Structure 1
Amino acid sequence: MTGQRIFMTGASGYIGSVVAQQAIQQGYNVCALSRTERSDEKIRNLGATPVRGGLQSYAVLLEQSAQADIVFHLADAWAGNFGKMEYDEVVRIDVGAVDAIGEGLKGTSKPLVITSGTLVVAAHPDGLETDEESAISEKPLNDRIKSEQHALGLCSQGINVSAIRLPPWVYGHGGSGVRLFMAMFTDMKEVFYVDQGSAPTSVVHVDDAAQLYLLAAKKAQPGDIFNAVSSNTVTARELATAIAHTACLPLQPLSFDEATSRVGEFMASFLSVENRASGKKARETLGWEPRGPTVMNDIKNGSYSKR
């Protein structure tokens, strides 16, 4: 049992709650930022201690980080504000929060593990895998790379900052994007994929993603970036087909323009973008061993099944 103290943002969220659970199981004491009484209750139920504040509660972030041995930053200002907030504002809020956390950790060499996404990288022109050194996308879905780069820049202040790049599809326990899309398609009374639906995408089970955060806290070097990807071969059409099967809905293709008119350009782009990120570095450097069920099996027969 470690007895070390972890301070977390985003612990009441889908991925953060699993990180908190696994950390507590490993003997860490977890304190977690919480904006509401509802989040307080969820955090307590995990076995963690809620600390009242938000991403702009800079004094709280500084104080809690200074008292921690490890900090995990998973909160995203866009959560709950999708379509209501410009992404420039999301970046501004994130930068301010990370700077406050950094003030508490400055000169300590303590681990700060932050959250990014594999979609910051451009697809390989020949359809090959990409890795953490691949070129950044010139036309990203959003400007998340700015938050990642800013956080990694704090390494110069004597902080061991590393980044976990989550894939477009984090799944498991009946939640995350799969559940959101199932609800959206149910409201639409049909499932669609964009164009041919042939673009491969990257996925990871939430339990495996959470494991990687804890491994990074123990083993990552300053400036390290890791793709939390267990598989990168499933296609958009295969995912749509599995969702249609589970939700008992008809399936049809839509052109990009048709999809945009139905769900907006961001969502149409998300459902059609190619992302073949490799998780090899995390496996080889940190000893990460993804063990969760495949996304197709989980949708058809696992946590998303109506059985």
Structure 2
Amino acid sequence: MRVFVTGATGNIGSKVVRELISAGHQVIGLCRSDAKAPALAALGAEVYRGSIAEPESLKEGAARSDGVIHLAFNHDFSRFAQNCEDDRLVVKALGDVLAGSDRPLIVTSGTPIANTVPGEPAREGNATVGSETHPRAASEEAAAAAASQGVNVSVVRLPQVHDRLTQGLITPAIQMFRDMGMCAYVGDGSNRWPAAHVLDVARLYRLAVERAEPDAKYHAVAEEGVPMRDIATAIGRRLNLPVRSIPEDEVEAVFGWLALFAGHDMPASSERTRAVLNWNPTGPDLLSDLAQLNISGEGQV
């Protein structure tokens, strides 16, 4: 296949590019930065210039592909809701190109929007909340709209995707902890975040685009839920910072925009995904990567 990958220069996207090429696929990789283009080309991908800020600029890349993996997202979480609405427009632009064909479109979302059964982990077949409740649902709403127009679209929902350099939402939390001089969790810290190593996630994306299953929902989850107390403790040990519990009424003051997630219990299952795609995660677990966190310089965590 010739696969158009948005976000091809990011931490997950670059691993997806490598995974696809290693499996014999061709890759057209979206890149908006002159500085990052040589590294993308060195992986063996064709560099495609465009930006998710201009959805129309992506259409030619999608038109020239046998399938699209959409990973690009603006990770300025201080404007999270707007970024999610912007992603709605990107999914629509990609879907417009693929409508009426069997070419797969893989859209990226997050597992928390399927945490809709009290006391149970998010599952692939659960009902989901809408974007008025969780902004990230905008991407799946756009995927559903594309499916209604005849697009072969499926969704990969991400947990906290980690290696020793980055760990999803934990990465900005680490910087907050550094700035505060302490690591924090809410209440007893028993609320859980799911996780998966980036190389396992890259393999799942490759399996998803190869299978091209219409209207599928996949959970890229290796660990169903890691308690926030354990996450904060691992970071505190690595950064030599004290670890403290904070009451729920101080969450916004301590975590700022991250308060949307910090105290929530968000476990997620990947039982169906593993069975359907024969996907078996083998990478290091989250706490192992946090124990070896790269702290050699600012901006590297």
- TM-score by length of structure 1 reads 0.88
Decide whether aligned partners of structure 1 residues 57 and 258 sit closer, same or farther in structure 2, where only a CA change above 3 A counts. Answer: closer
Taking the TM superposition and a 5 Å limit, the aligned residue runs for 1:142-291 are 142-167=134-159, 169-177=160-168, 178-264=170-256, 266-291=257-282
Q: Which runs of 5+ in 2 are unaligned?
A: 297-301
Q: Distance in 1 between matches of 2:190 and 2:122?
A: 17
Q: Distance in 2 between matches of 1:70 and 1:217?
A: 7
> By how many angstroms is 1:267 displaced?
1.1
Aligned counterpart for 1:82 among listed residues 77, 100, 107: 77
- Residue in structure 2 matched with residue 57 of structure 1 by the alignment: 54
Taking the TM superposition and a 5 Å limit, the aligned residue runs for 1:8-47 are 8-47=5-44
- Residue in structure 2 matched with residue 102 of structure 1 by the alignment: 95
- The residue type equivalent to 1:201 in the other structure is W
- The residue type equivalent to 2:271 in the other structure is K
- The residue type equivalent to 2:71 in the other structure is L
Decide whether aligned partners of structure 1 residues 139 and 225 sit closer, same or farther in structure 2, where only a CA change above 3 A counts. Answer: closer
Matched, 1:294 2:271: no
The percent of aligned pairs where both chains have the same amino acid is: 35
- The residue type equivalent to 2:158 in the other structure is L
Aligned counterpart for 1:116 among listed residues 109, 113, 116: 109
**Is residue 170–residue 203 contact of structure 1 (8 Å, CA) maintained in 2?**
yes
Q: Distance in 2 between matches of 1:60 and 1:305?
A: 37
Q: Distance in 2 between matches of 1:98 and 1:259?
A: 33
Decide whether aligned partners of structure 1 residues 140 and 304 sit closer, same or farther in structure 2, where only a CA change above 3 A counts. Answer: farther
**Is residue 113–residue 136 contact of structure 2 (8 Å, CA) maintained in 1?**
yes
Q: Distance in 1 between matches of 2:68 and 2:227?
A: 35
- Residue in structure 2 matched with residue 7 of structure 1 by the alignment: 4
> By how many angstroms is 1:58 displaced?
3.9
- Structure 2 residue matching 1:291: 3-state secondary structure: coil
Aligned pairs, number: 295
Q: Distance in 1 between matches of 2:226 and 2:73?
A: 26
**Is residue 202–residue 234 contact of structure 1 (8 Å, CA) maintained in 2?**
yes
> By how many angstroms is 1:273 displaced?
0.8
- The residue type equivalent to 1:133 in the other structure is G
- Structure 2 residue matching 1:8: 3-state secondary structure: strand
- Alpha-carbon displacement from aligned partner over 1:3-45 (angstroms, at most 9, x marks no partner): x211111111121111111112212221122222123234224
> By how many angstroms is 1:151 displaced?
1.3
> By how many angstroms is 1:284 displaced?
0.5
**Is residue 62–residue 102 contact of structure 1 (8 Å, CA) maintained in 2?**
no
**Is residue 98–residue 151 contact of structure 1 (8 Å, CA) maintained in 2?**
yes
> By how many angstroms is 1:304 displaced?
4.2
Decide whether aligned partners of structure 1 residues 102 and 149 sit closer, same or farther in structure 2, where only a CA change above 3 A counts. Answer: same
- Structure 2 residue matching 1:252: 3-state secondary structure: strand
* RMSD (CA atoms): 2.1
Q: Which runs of 5+ in 1 are unaligned?
A: none
Decide whether aligned partners of structure 1 residues 86 and 128 sit closer, same or farther in structure 2, where only a CA change above 3 A counts. Answer: closer
Q: Distance in 1 between matches of 2:250 and 2:85?
A: 33
- Structure 1 residue matching 2:214: 3-state secondary structure: coil
> By how many angstroms is 1:280 displaced?
0.5
Q: Distance in 1 between matches of 2:80 and 2:242?
A: 34
- The residue type equivalent to 1:97 in the other structure is V
- Structure 2 residue matching 1:134: 3-state secondary structure: coil
Decide whether aligned partners of structure 1 residues 237 and 58 sit closer, same or farther in structure 2, where only a CA change above 3 A counts. Answer: closer
- Structure 2 residue matching 1:198: 3-state secondary structure: coil
Taking the TM superposition and a 5 Å limit, the aligned residue runs for 1:123-142 are 124-125=117-118, 127-137=119-129, 142=134
Q: Distance in 1 between matches of 2:188 and 2:132?
A: 21
Moved more, 185-194 or 145-154: 145-154
